């Protein structure tokens, strides 16, 4: 089984990450179940979640667009 990650709608303020699992039978990939999506915003919390949850290559791509500082301020609940 393999898992593919896709970065959708990557902007300076947010990104949507889609993960989908596949099984390979005789060289052909078949999706298993529904894709999972999670949105991250370029806030202190969102940047921490990206760091903790995504593989290095995807983090690097996101932070290349987001830069070194958050662009979104979240209101406290």
Taking alpha carbons only, the member of 57, 2, 51 closest to residue 25 is 2
For the chain, which residues make up each domain, given as ranges?
Answer: 2-66
Residue whose tokens read 């979640």? 49
Q: What pLDDT does 76 receive?
A: 66
pLDDT tens sequence across 2-39 = 999 999 999 999 999 999 999 999 999 999 999 999 99
Specify the pTM: 0.85
Residue whose tokens read 């979240």? 74
């Amino acid at each position: 089984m393999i898992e593919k990650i896709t970065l959708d709608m990557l902007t300076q303020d947010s990104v949507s990450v889609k993960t989908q699992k596949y099984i390979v039978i005789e060289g052909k990939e078949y999706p298993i179940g529904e894709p999972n999506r999670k949105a991250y915003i370029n806030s202190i919390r969102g940047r921490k979640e990206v760091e903790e949850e995504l593989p290095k290559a995807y983090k690097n791509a996101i932070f290349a667009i987001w830069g070194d500082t958050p662009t979104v301020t979240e209101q406290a609940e």
